[in-house]
Amino acid sequence: MNTLRIANGRVLRPDHSIAEADVLIDQSTGDIDRVAAPDEIDATAEETLDAGGGLVVPGLVNAHGHAPMTLLRGYADDKPLDAWLQEDIWPAEGELTAEDIRVGTELAAVEMIRTGTTGFVDMYFEEPHVAGVVESSGLRAMLGHGFVSVGKSEEGAREDMEKSVNFAEQYDGLAGGRISTAVMPHSLTTVNEELLREAVERAREADLPVHIHANETEDEVAPIVDERGVRPLAYAEDVGLLADGDFLAHCVHVDDEEIELLADSEAVAVHCPASNAKLASGIAPVAEMLDAGVTVGLGTDGAASNNDLDMFDEIRDAAMLGKLGADDAAAVPASAAVRMATEGSAAALGFDSGRIEAGANADLAVVDLDAAHLTPEHDLVSHLAYATSGQDVRHTVCDGEVLMEDREIQTLDAEAVKERAEEQAEALADRVA
Ligand SMILES: N[C@@H](CCSC[C@H]1O[C@@H](n2cnc3c(=O)[nH]cnc32)[C@H](O)[C@@H]1O)C(=O)O
Ligand SMILES: [Zn+2]
């Protein structure tokens, strides 16, 4: 057994207690073999990472995003979703090349590894290039080709849906099992009913989950209520969504009936607080969803509506906005927010990660605790939610492989990626202008 030992640190246990413990990783399986006090582990490890003065936490899982949009970070801000997409983002995306997608994903991978994220979701296009970066970066991901029918001929829309199903079938399980896939219709209003039903049917035939944007803005809800006389999630359930493995991004404008539908289903809601705030989409009723027993994951959405991919920022936003939305300072406490970004997101994607215990994927990060902004140590879970930045991460490990040691990324040349991304983004903006 090739072993990696995360030594001399403290560990965040699944019950959110803190233990002085080493983590022994079996690199042949990529799983955690043991978590125990140092003197209880006599195995000699081929490789050791020093977690002294640090806290070993589950690698964060970014359960909704559009990775290549890092090239559009800061390209268009300060407008609501529809105007932002129609006036800026979709015109720019029309000029994106496959190389842009590859470089934008590399930049996203550098940012995620640097900030302790070990798993992510991508809904975009040119996904084979995204998959190539997942393979080389060492991250875990659930990928899908996002498709719409609006603005397309019936034939063009069907082709796009086929592309989404075919990609999901062909890429599931690649990169040594670190890639999983989903069929990804863009949203309940940008894909017509016939195509949506067919996409869901094809996903079930292929035993694949479906990922979709849902109830993000009032503008997405009203047309469905007006046309169909039912709430969007009732329509989603009727087309066969809300099945086990399905996960819905946003769920901002959901009423009690829809929260109950989610709670009674196997589907997972993915909360994107920063994106919802930045686009003024609203504050999702996360406290109510959690109280109703809905599984809630956490995601940044794209870097053009956040504008970073730091999931520690997202944890803090979830806690803060959850309180504001519930008008209750006790809502979405620190532990609940941390759990959303670890176990909640892992559940959304069916990842066996999100917790530090034997048998789980060895997807973890080590947070340096010696900074002034993490002093004193009354409560480390409080620090994870209210004070930790992704820049505090020292090491990142995914599938038992070291992706970053002492803030040095091992699987990508971070400086070269940043340079390339600058060049590609500049050329893209020139093409759009
Ligand atoms: N542009 C693709 C649609 C699917 S890719 C995923 C799309 O979601 C867009 N997107 C990014 N953030 C959001 C969001 O918060 N809500 C809805 N769409 C978004 C993103 O810009 C991209 O166009 C096509 O025409 O076939
Ligand atoms: Zn999105």
Give the pLDDT confidence score for residue 296 in this predicted structure: 98
Mutate to test the pocket of ligand 1, among 66, 159, 309 (most ligand atoms within 8 A of CB): 66
- Neighbour count for residue 7 (Cβ, 10 Å): 18
Residue 147 CB less than 6 A away from ligand 1: yes
- How many whole angstroms separate alpha carbon 352 and alpha carbon 165? 24
- Neighbour count for residue 313 (Cβ, 10 Å): 18
Q: Identify the CA nearest to 100 among candidates 429, 413, 433.
A: 429
Q: Identify the CA nearest to 393 among candidates 366, 353, 427, 426.
A: 366
- How many whole angstroms separate alpha carbon 45 and alpha carbon 5? 6
- How many whole angstroms separate alpha carbon 105 and alpha carbon 71? 9
Residue 412 CB less than 6 A away from ligand 1: no
> Which ligand 1 atom is at minimum distance from the Cα of 216?
16
- How many whole angstroms separate alpha carbon 259 and alpha carbon 269? 10
Ligand nearest to the CA of 278: 1
Give the pLDDT confidence score for residue 433 in this predicted structure: 86
Give the pLDDT confidence score for residue 147 in this predicted structure: 98
Mutate to test the pocket of ligand 1, among 186, 188, 218 (most ligand atoms within 8 A of CB): 186
- Token duo for residue 425: 């983004």
Nearest residue CA, atom 16 of ligand 1?
Answer: 213
Residue 125 CB less than 6 A away from ligand 1: yes
Give the pLDDT confidence score for residue 339 in this predicted structure: 98
Whether the complex's predicted ipTM surpasses the cut of 0.90: yes
> Which ligand 1 atom is at minimum distance from the Cα of 89?
21
Residue with the two structure tokens 């246990």: 13
> Which ligand 1 atom is at minimum distance from the Cα of 160?
26
Report the predicted TM-score, pTM, of the whole model to 2 decimal places: 0.98
* N-to-C CA span, the chain: 55
- Token duo for residue 45: 């490890």
> Are 344 and 301 contacting, i.e. CB atoms less than 8 angstroms apart?
no
- How many whole angstroms separate alpha carbon 379 and alpha carbon 391? 20
> Are 397 and 365 contacting, i.e. CB atoms less than 8 angstroms apart?
yes
- In the annotated binding site, the residues are 64, 66, 93, 186, 213, 216, 301
Distances (CA, A) of 97 to 68, 101, 221, 315: 11, 6, 33, 33
Task: Give the DSSP H or E segment for 396.
Answer: strand 393-398
Per-residue pLDDT of the chain (433 residues; tens, 9 = 90+): 799 999 999 999 999 999 999 999 999 999 999 999 999 988 789 999 999 999 999 999 999 999 999 999 999 999 999 999 999 999 999 999 999 999 999 999 999 999 999 999 999 999 999 999 999 999 999 999 999 999 999 999 999 999 999 999 999 999 999 999 999 999 999 999 999 999 999 999 999 999 999 999 999 999 999 999 999 999 999 999 999 999 999 999 999 999 999 999 999 999 999 999 999 999 999 999 999 999 999 999 999 999 999 999 999 999 999 999 999 999 999 999 999 999 999 999 999 999 999 999 999 999 999 999 999 999 999 999 999 999 999 999 999 999 999 999 999 999 999 999 999 999 999 999 8
Q: By three-state DSSP, how is residue 322 classified?
A: helix
